[in-house]
Structure 1
């Protein structure tokens, strides 16, 4: 991993070359960033990109670090713990039962039944895994519903839809007309998830963010700006960090 120096500060980054990349692009996490460049990019061209984007890198790394500080922390998956779900913090209720697998359901709160013989050492890991699986299935079903609702009516039919664990984006639409959505959108209100789905569907017709693209988004969702604003402001709510109790 290379190091980009800005004054006395060192930020780790990875350089990735791709024959499919037409131009340089950056993605950032709190600890490092990735620079994707065309396969034939020279060292001078790479350095020029870094220098040109210096201010953006500093600002974005700081923003991501601040987001990480306020992300929901879960110390134990026990009754009374809370995780974000559909835009609000939601309580867990855990109860033992005679089954062999963790069962997750939702009715005003997460109702989780765990095997009574599940050891304390493995309980947290297994419950967290079951919760993630349940949430991914729920967001997959929601996304498919939105695609059916808006696709045929507006002539926007993707080749397929996948739910992914994407680190740097909420969704993408490939040249192959495959739409990908980040499963963490299940933590946002359902109308915000709908906006993210419509956004990617509109890229089937318009590959950029020119006015024609936003006009199409607006025809489908007239209040898209409020939903986008919620996502931009509350992205720190979209997930949790498991922290070991001290």
Structure 2
């Protein structure tokens, strides 16, 4: 999940249907297809010809159209109604939200309770998001500090991300961004993302050598990647 290179918007006709897709070129060796709520994205080597890319899309046309149709029919995650007594999970830990009126907004986690102080004119959802972001930053920093020495690299600078389709990125300068919404996923899944981004400090690509570094840090990475894709589709929105 290195920092995204520029994407270009293109369109192809598959079985009589116009299909838009985003093309991202990188140092990868093969052409890869990804379909989610954002539509069709194609990852391709720097020198791959458009003709070859679109030939592959047509070859897998039935799969592409079926997946796009399934995502269109998939209901969007429901908006989270933030109210006293709401049950959420943070890094796999069940929490009950308790809201109290206050003159100043704030939040803290104590035991299995997430306490929110919410002034009358402030939206409780915004206070909850800020509290979860702060919690995520602390946990991300702890996980980076745990795993970076295992790879023999300094703990990198951390930035929180709100990207809709990316869980993390690693810049060419060695900084790592992690999506704060990972807070809603179990800690082992978060560790996979952390290890994935740390591995880019050694290999800024997705070559076999890169995946061997990931496996060194996270032996169960394949199962955790599947879980990330499955559970990441339905994270709360508010």
TM-score above 0.5: yes
Q: Structure 1, residues 55-96: CA drift from partner, whole Å, max 9, x if none?
A: 554355356446x5263542x321233444323664322221
Shift in CA distance, 56/142, structure 1 to aligned 2, threshold 3 Å: farther
Q: Distance in 2 between matches of 1:45 and 1:226?
A: 31
Partner of 2:96: 91
TM-score (norm 2): 0.72
Partner of 1:113: 117
TM-score (norm 1): 0.70
Shift in CA distance, 55/129, structure 1 to aligned 2, threshold 3 Å: farther
Shift in CA distance, 39/226, structure 1 to aligned 2, threshold 3 Å: closer
Q: Distance in 1 between matches of 2:185 and 2:233?
A: 10
Are the equivalent residues in 2 in contact too, given 1:77–1:128 (CA < 8 A)? yes
Structure 2 residue ranges without an equivalent (≥5): 1-8
- Of residues 137, 159, 163, the one that matches 2:160 is 163
Structure 1 position 218 matched with structure 2 position 215: yes
Q: Structure 1, residues 147-183: CA drift from partner, whole Å, max 9, x if none?
A: 2222134223365332211222222223333322222
Question: Which range is displaced more, 35-44 or 82-91?
Answer: 35-44
SS of the residue corresponding to residue 154 of structure 2 reads coil
Structure 1 position 71 matched with structure 2 position 72: no
Structure 1 residue ranges without an equivalent (≥5): none
Partner of 1:104: 107
SS of the residue corresponding to residue 148 of structure 1 reads helix
Shift in CA distance, 29/214, structure 1 to aligned 2, threshold 3 Å: closer
Are the equivalent residues in 2 in contact too, given 1:158–1:201 (CA < 8 A)? no
Partner of 1:61: 68
Q: Distance in 2 between matches of 1:70 and 1:177?
A: 35
What is the root-mean-square deviation of aligned Cα atoms in Å? 3.7
Partner of 1:152: 149
Are the equivalent residues in 1 in contact too, given 2:83–2:124 (CA < 8 A)? no
Q: How many residues align?
A: 227
Partner of 1:240: 236
The aligned runs of 1:180-195 (5 Å cut-off) are 180-195=177-192
